Structure 1
Amino acid sequence: MGLQPYDYGLRPHDDFHVIRRFYLNHKHLEILNRLFTPMIGSKAIGLYHYLNQFVEFKQDMVLTHYIIMSELKINLLEFRKEMDLLEGIGLVKSYVNHNQQHSSFVYQLIQPPSSQQFFNDPMLSVYLYSEVSKQRYFQLKAHFEDYVSIDLDQYQDVTRTFTDVFKVPNKSMTVDTQQIESEEAYGGMDLSHVHFDFETLYDLLQNHFISTKIINHEAKTLITQIATLYGLTPEAMKRIILKSITSAQTLSFEELRKHARTYYLIEHEQQLPKLNAQETNYHNNENSGENIQPSDASNNWLKQLDETSPIDMLASWSESEPTTQQKYMIEELIEREQLPFGVINILLQFVMLKEDMKLPKSYIFEIASNWKKKGIKTAEQAYHYAKKVNQPKDTHSNQVTKGKYKPKQLVSREMTPKWLEERDNKASNSQTSDNNVNADEDETLKRDREALLKRLNSKREEE
């Protein structure tokens, strides 16, 4: 997510320094340009190259963000958005030091991964595959493969050691050495804030008599990556792990990645996940460092519902895999009513809680049609409307806890639409008016006829 506004108040006159603890060679440039550009865009990679020039500047030289704004023709909001992409993908680290007058920033460029690291990383390789065609992906992979691949297992290592070649001095020597900073290699995407319920996974595996010792530190890292990439629950991960255990009762990482990918493709119509950046809450206010309070847990829950596929929500919320008929029903509902994910997620939860965890199709479509007519477009609107139309008599039995509600019986009232009432009223008034006009016309004709007959009779009498 990058730095939050209360972590820094970035202003144009704030100074910055750029550090790089590795030598940027042509292989790194190829990795950045060929592999990272399709994922985070040319603007972010261009910013990485642009910042690299400031590594050579002396520390006592003052560099402000005015330089970045002026030379790149961007504002600070655009700068931070591109920096977020670089930080999120693991290519840049940002540090800040505040004082009363201004803030000072340090941007550290991280060494790009090797091609082997990149294509062996389950997240990077899948996100790249999602952004380019299949043919292009294998073209890129072939470009970085060694032209000659030799299996060294068939050879004997006969390399001479240091003592085989050089004489070792008899006297001990004391050498005053200066500490040299080591290169900081690419560490992948930072998933330190991602929580995966390993305790539940261990319990599920023990039910199948699988020892938890197969999940070592390296396996936990890979499982966290895969669970984050594909949005897997402990139950889904258990099934994938069971398929990935070898005959020697070890966990095959390659099989784990393959089965996780297959599982996701089946659930998402052969579409791999894409690298989508979140919407930031940065304000384009370059002269102010006002703090913005983070949203509360309820808003985060509703926002998550707006961004989660109804099929994924249903699998996670009900803790069971949706049936094929339920998936077809949800797809038909999305296609027919064109409602946002958040509204459909609230609708499904509402119906399941009311109908004893069942999903009657006709009832769901009836409610969906009604909500669409009322213009409900977000999970928050759907949530409050569902509570409004289902107010229980006993308010104590309808408490909201952890974003879930327990509705009782839906109060349904069939009301005549306002436009229909107005139409009927107009028709009734028109009919009444017509009747009155007709009555007036009849009375006038009667009087005119009587007057005409009277004049005719008087003329006859005169003759």
Structure 2
Amino acid sequence: MGLQSSDYGLRPHDNFNVVRNFYLNNNHLEILNRLFTPMIGANATGLYHYLNQFVELESDVVLTHYIIMSELKINLLEFRKSMDLLEGIGLVKTFVNHDAQHSFFMYQLIQPPSAKQFFNDPMLSVYLYSEVSKQRYQQLKRHFETKVDIDMTHYKDVTRTFTDVFKVPNQSITENTNAIQDEATFDGLDLSQVHFDFETLYDLLHTHFISTKIIDKDAKSLITQIATLYGLTPESMKRIILKSITSAQELSFEELRKHARTYYLMEHEQQLPKLNVKSSDMQHTGSANEQEQVNQEDDWLQQLEETSPIDMLASWSESEPTTQQKFMIEELIERENLSFGVINILLQFVMLKEDMKLPKTYIFEIASNWKKKGIKTAAQAYEYAMKVSQPKKQSDKHKPYYKQRQLASREMTPKWLEERDNKSETPASNTSEDDEALKNDREQFLNQLKNRWKEDK
């Protein structure tokens, strides 16, 4: 199942860094653009190119996911969807370190495979073939074959070693066990979670007097790939292996791949398997948790109604609001007589549209407009804000932008709301005390606000 941003605790203000332990050259870019794009799409490969720019930045530069959202014009769920594809295909690794207030993400770019590695990989080559026409596949293969090195099979390596050429002291050389290793090479698709019943396969081969020694480490890896690609059972694999054994009683990898492909085509009306994302599982999970999400949204809107805009703003920006901002909020409450929930939605709406800024004139203009439209609750404000965020022109084939819930969505849950979620796990007695304290704080705030305006008069 595809992972959502909530599975990682991913929020816009979470920091990230990008590392790359290889030199990204033109050959790598050609592999990405010509071979991987047809399989995972331009958004995913584009994200790979986009992240590459952050590799060379100074270590003291602070990067947040808000930068990605702002520059690519996507929300965190769209970001995670593209990252899922990059991770699943083996081009990116993600590491995370959580602390009390933030999550720090490390994205490691993996070196794309060479053309030879790609076309020799039974899964990658077949999936590419399924996405493009036969003519296009052959065209791509010929393009990269012109760059393949000369076949060195019949050549003998006679290169002299260091000790053949240079004098060395008569001392034992100590190996450096801490040598830096390149951990960013492409290791193929990660099938570590795939189980194939080799014990049953061994028993089936034994009945045909075939030694299991022909299935070495490389053979097991290829069999696992082929079985995963074509959905083969040990019985089916046994038949394919018997056809792929040479006269020297050795297993031919080329014949194994050819016979497996022929077997699958015969069983599936000459149609090769395609690379399919688990979208159905994600939809099923979404429908199963739909009621829970609705309840969480109701709780969130209720929390907005009960939280002072000043407190919300302090938690949202993780800094104390300025004196001018506090006076602006107090004036907004007194002048427009809007509820805390409406003002909280209004402020979040403006900050998202104005790059986290709070222009007073713009805020009061929106507040006046919302008051004229009779918006009195956080739910009404939230619904209207999402409505006006919808693009004027859109195709019926595409999901409206506001439906992505970028505005004040769960993926952008402010810190004070998360603290509220944590507090909800406390005993009921503590919860009632917190509710009473919140009510008292709100009454005190309103009284102080009224007294301030009486003094000004």
Task: Report the TM range for the smaller structure's normalisation.
Answer: 0.5 to 0.7
**Partner residue, 1:377:** none
Judged with a 3 Å threshold, the aligned counterparts in structure 2 of structure 1 residues 156 and 202 are, in CA distance, closer, same or farther, namely closer
SS at structure 1 position matched to 2:262? helix
**Range with bigger deviation, 179-188 or 215-224:** 179-188
**Partner residue, 2:168:** 168
What displacement does 1:63 show?
0.8
Alignment of 1:228-377 (within 5 A): 228-279=228-279, 280=282
**Partner residue, 1:72:** 72
Amino acid of the residue matched to residue 167 of structure 2?
K
Structure 1: how far apart are the matches of 2:175 and 2:157? 33
**Partner residue, 1:348:** none
Judged with a 3 Å threshold, the aligned counterparts in structure 2 of structure 1 residues 173 and 119 are, in CA distance, closer, same or farther, namely closer
What displacement does 1:184 show?
2.2
Structure 2: how far apart are the matches of 1:75 and 1:153? 51
What displacement does 1:150 show?
4.6
1:244–1:259 contact (8 Å) kept in structure 2: yes
**Partner residue, 2:120:** 120
1:94–1:107 contact (8 Å) kept in structure 2: yes
The C-alpha deviation readout for 1:96-142, integer Å capped at 9, x for no partner, is 11122121111110010111110100000000111111111111111
**Partner residue, 1:95:** 95
**Partner residue, 1:226:** 226
**What is the Cα-based RMSD across aligned positions, in Å?**
2.7
What displacement does 1:215 show?
1.2
What displacement does 1:170 show?
5.0
2:14–2:103 contact (8 Å) kept in structure 1: yes
1:110–1:184 contact (8 Å) kept in structure 2: yes
Whether 1:17 and 2:17 are equivalent positions in the alignment is yes
Judged with a 3 Å threshold, the aligned counterparts in structure 2 of structure 1 residues 47 and 136 are, in CA distance, closer, same or farther, namely same
Structure 2: how far apart are the matches of 1:225 and 1:176? 35
Amino acid of the residue matched to residue 128 of structure 2?
L
2:4–2:80 contact (8 Å) kept in structure 1: no
**Partner residue, 1:104:** 104
What displacement does 1:56 show?
1.2
SS at structure 1 position matched to 2:188? coil
Whether 1:204 and 2:204 are equivalent positions in the alignment is yes
What displacement does 1:182 show?
2.6
Alignment of 1:114-193 (within 5 A): 114-146=114-146, 150-169=150-169, 180-193=180-193
SS at structure 2 position matched to 1:94? strand
1:2–1:87 contact (8 Å) kept in structure 2: no
Amino acid of the residue matched to residue 60 of structure 1?
D
Judged with a 3 Å threshold, the aligned counterparts in structure 2 of structure 1 residues 57 and 2 are, in CA distance, closer, same or farther, namely farther
What displacement does 1:59 show?
2.8
| TM-score with structure 1 setting the length | 0.57
Structure 2: how far apart are the matches of 1:180 and 1:86? 25
**Partner residue, 1:44:** 44
Structure 1: how far apart are the matches of 2:82 and 2:148? 38
SS at structure 1 position matched to 2:55? helix
**Partner residue, 1:414:** none
Unaligned runs of at least 5 residues, structure 2: 287-291, 294-457
Structure 2: how far apart are the matches of 1:242 and 1:193? 27
Structure 2: how far apart are the matches of 1:112 and 1:271? 28
Judged with a 3 Å threshold, the aligned counterparts in structure 2 of structure 1 residues 174 and 100 are, in CA distance, closer, same or farther, namely same
Structure 1: how far apart are the matches of 2:148 and 2:140? 17
What displacement does 1:235 show?
1.1
> Which structure has the larger Rg over C-alpha atoms?
1
Judged with a 3 Å threshold, the aligned counterparts in structure 2 of structure 1 residues 160 and 225 are, in CA distance, closer, same or farther, namely same
What displacement does 1:161 show?
2.9
What displacement does 1:80 show?
0.6
The C-alpha deviation readout for 1:316-346, integer Å capped at 9, x for no partner, is xxxxxxxxxxxxxxxxxxxxxxxxxxxxxxx
Judged with a 3 Å threshold, the aligned counterparts in structure 2 of structure 1 residues 162 and 245 are, in CA distance, closer, same or farther, namely same
What displacement does 1:180 show?
3.5
Unaligned runs of at least 5 residues, structure 1: 284-288, 291-463
Judged with a 3 Å threshold, the aligned counterparts in structure 2 of structure 1 residues 66 and 154 are, in CA distance, closer, same or farther, namely closer
Judged with a 3 Å threshold, the aligned counterparts in structure 2 of structure 1 residues 177 and 60 are, in CA distance, closer, same or farther, namely farther
**Partner residue, 1:295:** none
| TM-score with structure 2 setting the length | 0.58
The C-alpha deviation readout for 1:71-117, integer Å capped at 9, x for no partner, is 00001111111100000000001111112212111111001011111
Structure 2: how far apart are the matches of 1:73 and 1:193? 34
2:109–2:184 contact (8 Å) kept in structure 1: no
Whether 1:81 and 2:81 are equivalent positions in the alignment is yes
2:5–2:76 contact (8 Å) kept in structure 1: no
Amino acid of the residue matched to residue 278 of structure 2?
Q
Alignment of 1:436-447 (within 5 A): none
SS at structure 1 position matched to 2:107? strand
1:22–1:183 contact (8 Å) kept in structure 2: no
Structure 1: how far apart are the matches of 2:219 and 2:154? 29
Amino acid of the residue matched to residue 111 of structure 1?
Q
Structure 2: how far apart are the matches of 1:155 and 1:178? 34
What displacement does 1:152 show?
3.9
1:21–1:181 contact (8 Å) kept in structure 2: no
**Partner residue, 1:63:** 63
Count of paired positions: 286
2:241–2:251 contact (8 Å) kept in structure 1: yes
SS at structure 1 position matched to 2:8? coil
Judged with a 3 Å threshold, the aligned counterparts in structure 2 of structure 1 residues 51 and 157 are, in CA distance, closer, same or farther, namely closer
The C-alpha deviation readout for 1:272-294, integer Å capped at 9, x for no partner, is 111111123687xxxxx99xxxx
Amino acid of the residue matched to residue 214 of structure 2?
I
Amino acid of the residue matched to residue 256 of structure 1?
L
